[in-house]
Amino acid sequence: MRKLIIGLAALAICVLGVASVNMESKAAGADWTMSPVKAVERYKEKGSLHSPYEKDYEKYAEEGHQLYMGLSCNGCHGGGGGGGMCPPLTNSVWVYGSDDDTLFRLVTEGSAGLQEHYDMKRVGSENVVGPMPAMGSSIKTADDLWKIIAWIRSINPSSIPGGKSNVPPPPTFD
């Protein structure tokens, strides 16, 4: 009888253990092997996308930078993200905000997508104002995009609450 009770208890612990592992992976959003386009369809609600690299973004920054160059984001934003034809990613101005969800949707769906699908407006004002193209279909996986965002965070601490940019904001002429 005693053995049976111990056996049942062990079984219960096993079942609970498996259940909690499952819940954990769900809570973390887990599978980012889907394309960014699929990811914004699946996590439709604004605010529901969270980077798996929120804490250890420095670790993935280099890989993210390579992806950024490979996708020619540098043609518009410069190799170091300092801008050029288009707004810099290094200063403290964030056109729509700098949280995970906003940056993921902006890069995937472009300015037009952000404005049409989520009713977002420009809140930050950069020197250069223009539309960002939807890049989602050129990026293989959502994981790749999270790595690019990890690199942006590494070059610009102002993208993280409480962090400051090392680059001055654009001058205003009014």
- Residue 91 sits at φ, ψ, to 5 deg, of -90, 180
Name beta bridge partners: 91: 167
Question: Which amino acid, one-letter code, is at 102?
Answer: T
Q: Minimum distance from CB of 52 to ligand HEC (Å)?
A: 17
* Interaction residues for ligand HEC, span 106-145 (CB under 6 A): 106-107, 111, 122, 124, 126, 129-133, 135
Structure tokens at 82: 């300092």
Helices vs strands, H then E, count in the chain: 6, 0
Largest CA distance in the chain: 85
Residue 75 contacts ligand HEC per CB under 6 A: yes
Q: Minimum distance from CB of 48 to ligand HEC (Å)?
A: 19
Give the number of residues in contact with ligand HEC, rule: CB under 6 A.
Answer: 28
Binding site for ligand HEC (CB under 6 A): 68, 71-73, 75-77, 86-87, 89, 93-95, 103, 106-107, 111, 122, 124, 126, 129-133, 135, 148, 152
